[in-house]
Amino acid sequence: MSEPSIFTRILQGEIPGEIVAQNERVFVLRDIHPQAPVHLLVIPKTQEYANVAELAAGDPALLAEVVAMAQKVAAEHADGDFRLIFNSGAGAGQTVFHVHAHVLAGGLEEKKLVG
C-alpha cells in the first residue's frame, strides 16, 4: 500500500487542515494557497484514484458525488456560481496524486476563460 497522501493525513487528523464539509465518501478542505476568494478542494476519502480520468473509469458515482459536493459548497460559501477544476498530471499542475477538484468562486469575473 502506498503512503497516505497529505489529504488522507489531514482527514485522519495527523496534520492540520480546515475541513468545511464532508459526507461518507467525500470531504472538503479550504485551500491553503487560495487562487480566488473562495478556493475549496473537494476530495474523495479514498486515495485509490490519482486523477479524474481514473476516478471516472473506476467509480463514476463517486465522481458524481464530488461534483454534487462542489455545487453544495459553492452555494454555501459563494453565490452558487463556481469554476470546477481537476488537474491531471504533473504537466497540468497536479502536485498531490490523490484526485481532487478545485472549487473557485468570487472575484473571477476579470479572469474569465472563453469556452
Active site residues: 100
Q: Would you state the cell numbers that stand for residue 96, as one nine-digit string?
A: 498531490
Contact present, 7 and 48 (Cβ < 8 Å) = no
Residues linked to residue 96 through DSSP beta bridges, in sequence order: none
Shortest CA distance to 39 belongs to which of 107, 105, 89, 108? 105
Give Cα 67 distance to the centre of its chain: 9
Q: Would you state the cell numbers that stand for residue 16, as one nine-digit string?
A: 492540520
Q: Would you state the cell numbers that stand for residue 107, as one nine-digit string?
A: 472575484
